[in-house]
């Protein structure tokens, strides 16, 4: 999952922008928690909970995508762009 694969990147980003890295990590953690709750609700057959959790997951994922595109990617390009060349 996307959120689990970014831990090394966020650790590197933390050196340049600790508050932003912490905020993005918290969003990832929240998404993972919601996904786990959704899986538990599905296993228990709690359809109404699954729907509510799925809506929450989509909302946090969309919010995270917007913030990464707006804030994280430009910063990463400035901080790490020279390394890739």
pLDDT, tens only, 47-60? 999 999 999 999 99
3-state secondary structure of 76: helix
How large a percentage of the chain has pLDDT more than 70?
94
Q: How far apart are CA 23 and CA 26, in angstroms?
A: 5
Give me the helix-helix angle, 18-43 and 7-16, nearest 10°: 150
Structural domain total, the chain: 1
Confidence of residue 82 (pLDDT cuts 50, 70, 90): low
- pLDDT value for 58: 97
pTM equals: 0.84
Distances (CA, A) of 18 to 12, 40, 49: 9, 33, 35
Residue 25's domain comprises 2-84
User: Chain centroid to CA 39: how far?
Assistant: 18
């Amino acid at each position: 999952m996307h959120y689990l694969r970014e831990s090394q990147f966020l650790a590197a980003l933390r050196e340049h922008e600790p508050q932003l890295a912490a905020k993005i990590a918290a969003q990832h953690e929240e998404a993972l928690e919601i996904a786990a709750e959704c899986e538990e609700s599905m296993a228990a057959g709690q359809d109404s909970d699954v729907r509510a959790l799925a809506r929450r997951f989509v909302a946090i994922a969309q919010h995270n995508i917007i913030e990464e595109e707006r804030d994280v990617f430009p910063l990463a390009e400035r901080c790490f762009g020279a390394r890739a060349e």
